[in-house]
Amino acid sequence: MASIYRKKGNDIWYYSITYGGKRYQGTTKTTDKQSAKLIAEAKQTDIAREKNYLPALKKTVVRFTTLRDKYLNSDSV
């Protein structure tokens, strides 16, 4: 289970996750508690996926030029 906490004198939230008997800790890089919870849950999901030999869920960035070229080369034009 993912938990979040703040260090004394610091407004940044940190996460602590225990998975498979191993502890994972890190910063969420945010001062917003709700965002920190979401980040910690996403990190926990990534850890579980990695430990089960599945790729981590990541956002795919597609450049405009790639989309333009794909559109211009398609038959729908």
**According to the model, what pLDDT value does residue 68 have?**
84
- Band (pLDDT 50/70/90 cuts) for residue 76 is low
Alpha helices per DSSP H over the chain: 33-51, 64-72
- Threshold 0.85, pTM exceeds: no
Helix (H, G, I), strand (E, B) or coil at 21: coil
**According to the model, what pLDDT value does residue 60 have?**
65
Q: Which residue has the higher pLDDT, 62 or 76?
A: 62
pLDDT tens by residue, 20-55: 999 999 999 999 999 999 999 999 999 998 899 887
